[in-house]
Amino acid sequence: MLETEVKVLGAHLMTKKQQFLSEHNRLASLDMQATASMLTLFKIEKASLFKDKNWSIDKLRRPFIFWLTSLTPKEKEDIIKIRKV
């Protein structure tokens, strides 16, 4: 397998939180950018989605976007502040 094919395959599977965050933010508009703190809270609140402990972009991105858009501006601000503490 070529190195570029491995990278594409690895990016498609998105098994790590940081990979998910990177891919989501690459695809998202500025107002939909996420932080690691947001992903942590999402995983806590939507634990049933993580039975396989995988951060699959195909499986989780849509539920994450729904969850993210349900947050109030104050909730988003509070999550971002947690990251800075």
The alpha carbon of 68 is separated from its chain's Cα centroid by a whole number of angstroms, namely: 10
DSSP state of 30: G
What pLDDT score does 27 carry?
A: 96
pLDDT tens digits, one per residue of 21-79: 999 999 999 999 999 999 999 999 999 999 888 899 999 999 999 999 999 999 988 88
User: Domain spans of the chain?
Assistant: 3-84
Start-end of H helices in the chain:
3-13, 17-27, 36-45, 57-70, 73-84
CA distance 65 to 69: 6
* 8 Å CB contact between 42 and 82: no
pLDDT value, residue 80 = 80
Helix (H, G, I), strand (E, B) or coil at 52: coil
Confidence at residue 15, expressed as pLDDT on a 0 to 100 scale: 65
